Chains A and B, each alone.
Chain A
Amino acid sequence: MRDASPAKVYALHIGVILALFALNFVLPDYHQGLFARIMALAVFAMGYNLLFGYGGLLSLGHAMFFSAGLYGAGLTVYHLGWGVPEAFLAGIACGALLALVIGLLALRTSGVAFMIVTMMFAQVFYLLILYFAAWTGGDQGLVIQQASRVVSIGGASFDLTDPTVRYMSALALFSVVLLITLAIVRSRFGRVLVAIRENEERTRMLGYDTTANKLIAVVASGATCAASGAAYALLFGYVGSNFASVQYSILPLLWVLLGGAATVLGPLVGTLFMYYVTDITSGFTSAYLLIVGIALILLVLFAPKGILGTIRQRWLGWLP
């Protein structure tokens, strides 16, 4: 955040949103669907980035916040017949509440212990989903029918299974979260968060209750990841326990590291990059994971700060 004019910063981010809007009309069907998925998951990555990139807290259990949103939205639609907006809010509320409880417990630790504690809680959450298979569908998951995924606003009704509606819904959520993240990062709270990451003891000696600030970050991060999960359930109509598995705790970490931790656009770039490398290489060979792995190693070797992190370091110091 070196002496950037706010106008330039906002122009860049709004430009990205407009470009994504325009892509809807250009992209072939397959890529339009992929982009909708990437935008929804980039929200997951942005939520993770808030805690990890800015706050410096490495969680290995964020799958639980994503799936709290996923199930919070999915189960209320499936079992209670709730409408899409109510279910979406229920998903966010579940994630925020879970994050509050987990935060209160896990923030008693730090560093490696924090990683282990969050991972353990996420495993408990995963096993609970399997245990309550009668409601959650266990490892089979649940499919949310098309009829439940129609939103009526005023006289108009929007079918979330329609590719354009789905793309625009994902974009709307992505845009809101992007701009909120940008505002947080540029706020006083954002400055405190970065200070805690850099030197918690020093921050405390400047009069900040660092534990309370970290708790706020955990809840904001959990709620954002839950928003991603809730949107995913409603947009793609499937709720399953694999989203709560450890793989989905590692993925946001990878996306953020690839795109650039503590950059506002990094999560999008990382998610996009990872999805397309996987997509393209799997077209050539069944050993695509090998190529993904090599790409990751090269990035870590030559751009350890991630794509946007490196760009910021070399060329664009003002990038938030």
Chain B
Amino acid sequence: MPLLTTKGLSRRFGGLRAVDGVDFSLMPGEIRAIIGPNGAGKTTFVSLLSGRIQPSSGMVVFDGADITNMPAYKRVRLGVAYTFQITSVFANLTAFDNVALPVQRTLTDGRTKGQVRTGVMEALERTGLADRAHTLAGQLSYGHQRLLEVAMGLALKPRLLILDEPTQGLADSEIDNFIALVREIARSATVLLIEHNMPVVMQLADRITVFNMGRILAEGTPEQIRADAQVQDAYLGATHG
């Protein structure tokens, strides 16, 4: 059974059909990449999944339950975590406090201080930020802020982790670590990522969904997508000249 499905999911902004009747499904445990040209509706689509914006029509089903009208914070508690395209860590809080927020959210029993600390340090260690726990997030380098963003997502113990352009602005050396990190996350969660960096997509994704003009243009394994003529016209051709 799919972890997440959408049926006829649409969102209009005035006359613009940003997402237009999308039927989509995601199997548990897979790493799925969403690609597509700018303005294809990728971010709007994942925002509909996470509940940040409401659909104009259609439905979203997560783990068998209709969550179309569920507020975003409740979806997070169900296990749908979203990390932002534009880095939005809490700049004036320490890295520790940034991660403590999702950790304390997930601690539903035995609420002691030690447990928050344990959960926080675990997430920081997995992302390699443990030695920067008491640095203000705003003073971290950009790459570290992106990692902190992922640490916050991880600390939510998600079943579905949505990453919106996670490698944007990362150096090549940081990207390699990042790929390893996503692979590790995928062992315990389903990962849906929007990504422009094609080598990253080709290395990571089990399947790729291509968006264009608010609709799904193609879907398949990396090899299938690479071979698809339509996709090359709409997207790959444009970037790979």
Binding site for B on A (CB under 8 A): 1-3, 188, 191-192, 194-195, 198-199, 201-210
**B200 contacts A by Cβ under 8 Å:** no
Does B211 interact with chain A (Cβ within 8 Å)?
Answer: no
- The answer on a CB contact under 8 Å between B105 and A207 is yes
B90 engages A207 (CB within 8 Å): no
Chain A, Cβ-Cβ closest to B52 = A205
A112 vs chain B, min Cβ distance (A):
22
CA distance A192 to B100 in the complex (A): 10
A205 touches B90 (CB 8 A): no
CB contacts (< 8 Å) of A203 on chain B: these are 101
Evaluate contact between A207 and B77: CB separation under 8 angstroms. yes
**Contact between chains at B73 and A207 (CB < 8 Å):** yes
Assess the A202–B73 pair: CB atoms within 8 A: no
- B residues sitting closer than 8 Å to A (CB atoms) are 50, 52, 71-74, 76-77, 81-82, 84, 88-94, 97, 100-102, 104-106, 111, 116, 134, 136, 152, 156
Q: Give, as a whole number of angstroms, the nearest-CB distance from A212 to chain B.
A: 9
Among A188, A198, A199, A204, which residue has its beta carbon within 8 angstroms of that of B104? A188
Q: How many A-B pairs with Cβ below 8 Å?
A: 64
Q: Which residues of B contact A188 (CB under 8 A)?
A: 104, 111, 116
A2, B71: Cα distance in complex, Å: 33
| Nearest chain A CB to B119 CB, angstrom units | 12
Asked whether B93 lies within 8 Å of A204 as measured between CB atoms, the reply is no
Set of chain B residues within 8 Å of A202, measured between Cβ atoms: 84, 88-90
- Determine the chain B residues whose CB is within 8 A of the CB of A201 once the complex forms: 52, 88
- A198 B105 Cβ-Cβ under 8 A: no
Chain B's closest residue to A1 (CB) is B97
Are B73 and A199 in contact, CB atoms less than 8 angstroms apart?
A: no
Tell me the minimal C-beta distance from A310 to chain B in angstroms. 15
Given A198-B91, A202-B84, A206-B156; A191-B104 close (CB under 8 Å): yes
Q: Looking across the interface, which residue of chain B has its beta carbon closest to that of A198? A: B90
Query: Shortest beta-carbon distance, B219 to chain A, in Å?
Result: 27
With A195-B90, A206-B101 known as contacts, the answer to whether A3 contacts B156 (CB < 8 A) is no
| Residues in chain B near residue A204, CB distance under 8 A | 72-73
Choose among A194, A198, A209 the residue with the greatest number of B CB atoms under 10 Å from its CB.
Answer: A198
List of B residues within 8 angstroms of A2 by Cβ: 94, 134, 136
Per the bound structure, the CA–CA distance linking A207 and B158 in Å amounts to 11
B102 neighbours in A (Cβ, 8 Å): 206-207
- Residues in B with CB closer than 8 Å to A192 are 101
The answer for the CA separation of A202 and B145 in the assembled complex, in Å, is 14
Nearest neighbor of B152 in chain A, beta-carbon distance = A206
Determine if B105 and A191 form an interchain contact, defined as CB atoms under 8 angstroms apart. Answer: no
For B149, give the chain A residue with the smallest CB separation.
A202
- 20 interchain pairs, CB-CB under 8 A: A1-B97, A2-B136, A3-B94, A188-B104, A188-B111, A191-B100, A191-B101, A195-B93, A195-B101, A198-B91, A202-B89, A204-B73, A205-B72, A206-B102, A207-B73, A207-B76, A207-B102, A207-B156, A208-B105, A210-B73
Contact flag A205-B93 (CB < 8 Å), given A191-B100, A191-B101, A210-B73: no
For A199, the chain B residues whose CB sits under 8 A away are 88, 90
Q: How far is the CB of B106 from chain A (nearest CB, A)?
A: 8
Contact of A3 with B101 at beta-carbon distance under 8 Å, contacts A202-B88, A205-B76 already known: no
CB distance from B160 to the nearest CB of A (A): 13
5 smallest beta-carbon distances between A and B, as pairs = A207-B76, A207-B105, A198-B90, A188-B104, A206-B102
B179 to chain A, nearest CB (A): 24
For the complex, what is the distance from the CA of A191 to the CA of B106, rounded to whole Å? 15
What residues of chain B lie closer than 8 Å to A206, measured between beta carbons? 76, 101-102, 105, 152, 156
Task: Collect the chain B residues with CB atoms within 8 Å of residue A207's CB.
Answer: 73-74, 76-77, 102, 105-106, 156
Q: Which residue of A lies closest to B90 (CB)?
A: A198
A203 and B105 CA atoms in complex are apart in Å by 11
- Chain B residue at minimal CB-CB distance from A6: B113
Distance between A106 CB and nearest chain B CB, rounded to angstroms: 20
How close is A139's CB to chain B, nearest CB, in angstroms?
44
Which residues of the partner chain A approach B91 to less than 8 Å between Cβ atoms?
198
Which residue of the partner chain A has the closest CB to B94?
Answer: A2
Closest to A189 in B: B104
